[in-house]
Amino acid sequence: MSKTIYSSSATGLVLSLALACHGAETAAKWLGANSCASSSCHGGGGAKQDQFLVWSLKDFHSQRPAATLATARSKQIADALEMKDPAADARCTSCHAPLNGVPANLRGENFKVSEGVSCESCHGPAGNWIRAHTRADYTRADRTAAGMSDLQNLYVRANTCVACHQNVADDILKAGHPELIFELDGQSVAEPKHWSADKNGNGAQAWLVGQAVALREMSWQISHEPHPDAKLIARRDALVWLLRTVSAIDSSYALSSLLDVRQDAPVIEQWADNLARTAADNWKAENASRALKRLAQTSGAFQNVSSEVAVRRAERLVLALDRLVVALPELKNDAPVQSALNRLFQLAQSVPDFDAKQFAAALENFSATLATH
């Protein structure tokens, strides 16, 4: 899991400091999900007061991440790593049970390690803001200053999620842990909603910010792994290719020059972070259609490259096309476009069976279908 300076890892988030309302910097207490659960706060039945209920009853993050560590598959991975207990090892708990990392002196009376990925895992330790965050005169900046994570900011939101949804250490992957692909927009849409979509919008902008943050984390991991796996490098290079293609839609996104990505991980890392910050602050409505058109016209990128390069590009590309199509009202329910897109997903579904020529032909058909609109 990344410990990059640009974002907090799950463990880093657990150990973060919150600013007190009066301006003094103090370590905030972790109060536990029950501190949010009263019926007059986030445990009520109303549409705007049911956040705790949605998380505790419907959200995968509530209990299942920690429970996963007790499965047979987790035991197999742990055995391969000569790990005594995955439920007590920070290599696993940092994402599956992050509250394990909270120091005893920062645990409130109702704090429970068993809560999995809890309210404070994303919103920040509540000790310094729990009483004040409902004040009518409090601004978003006031809440942030008190230590509450500003998840309306797409850059902050992406950094909050990416630590556990993108990178897995090479030895853990080789032991059998599945590969992870972070995609902020699609994964947010799939999440049971306990927030306002109007205030915390999804869409193409969220997709781009998330992909840039994912690239930064992958590049960091490659530069810090003693012997990075060839598959990891291919996945990173595929995302570089994707974002370089998209960056051409806006001059503020572009990288003036890019050397060999295998030798220039710090350059890629910095560019990706700058892209994420810029895209979070600077987005034009027409960018979604521009990005979709450019990516749809990349069939040539699947010719004269290795099968590993081609399939990793396809893997990222189909997810990008899906989120960009959904972001455009005139396309998201269009049957011919959806049919052409579904064909691309089918062809990219299996890495061992991937056929670059078939995929390129299907991509040309997708592009032609788009051109009719």
From residue 2, alpha-carbon distances to 147, 169, 289 in Å are: 22, 8, 32
- Per the domain annotation, does 11 fall within a domain? yes
Whole-number pLDDT of residue 251: 85
Domain that holds residue 44: 1-150
Cα(367)–Cα(359) distance, rounded to whole angstroms?
Answer: 12
Could you read off the pLDDT of 353-363 as tens digits, one per residue?
999 999 999 99
Query: Would you state the structure tokens that stand for residue 287, as one six-digit string?
Result: 């960018």
Cα(198)–Cα(227) distance, rounded to whole angstroms?
Answer: 44
- The helix, strand and coil proportions of the chain, stated in percent and rounded to the nearest 5, come to 55, 0, 40
Measured at the CA of 271, the angle between CA 267 and CA 276, to 5 degrees, comes to 150
From residue 295, alpha-carbon distances to 20, 89, 248, 321 in Å are: 46, 42, 11, 7
**Does the pLDDT value for residue 259 go beyond 60?**
no
The DSSP bridge partners found for residue 96 are none
Cα(139)–Cα(116) distance, rounded to whole angstroms?
Answer: 29
For residues 294-323, average pLDDT: 96
Determine contact, residues 185/206, Cβ cutoff 8 Å: yes
Could you read off the pLDDT of 216-232 as tens digits, one per residue?
999 999 988 888 888 88
Whole-number pLDDT of residue 266: 81
- Per the domain annotation, does 327 fall within a domain? no
Whole-number pLDDT of residue 201: 64
* Residue 273 neighbours by CB distance under 10 Å: 23
Number of structural domains (the chain) is 1
Which of these, 129, 108, 115, 94, lies nearest to 14 by C-alpha position? 94
Cα(219)–Cα(238) distance, rounded to whole angstroms?
Answer: 12
Could you read off the pLDDT of 148-181 as tens digits, one per residue?
999 999 999 999 999 899 999 999 999 999 999 9
- 113/11: higher pLDDT: 113
For residues 71-98, average pLDDT: 94
The sign of the torsion formed by the CA atoms of 78, 81, 84, 89 equals negative
- Per the domain annotation, does 239 fall within a domain? no
SS3 25: strand
- Per the domain annotation, does 372 fall within a domain? no
Which of these, 147, 93, 291, lies nearest to 208 by C-alpha position? 291
**Does the pLDDT value for residue 188 go beyond 50?**
yes
**Does the pLDDT value for residue 64 go beyond 90?**
no
Determine contact, residues 315/348, Cβ cutoff 8 Å: yes
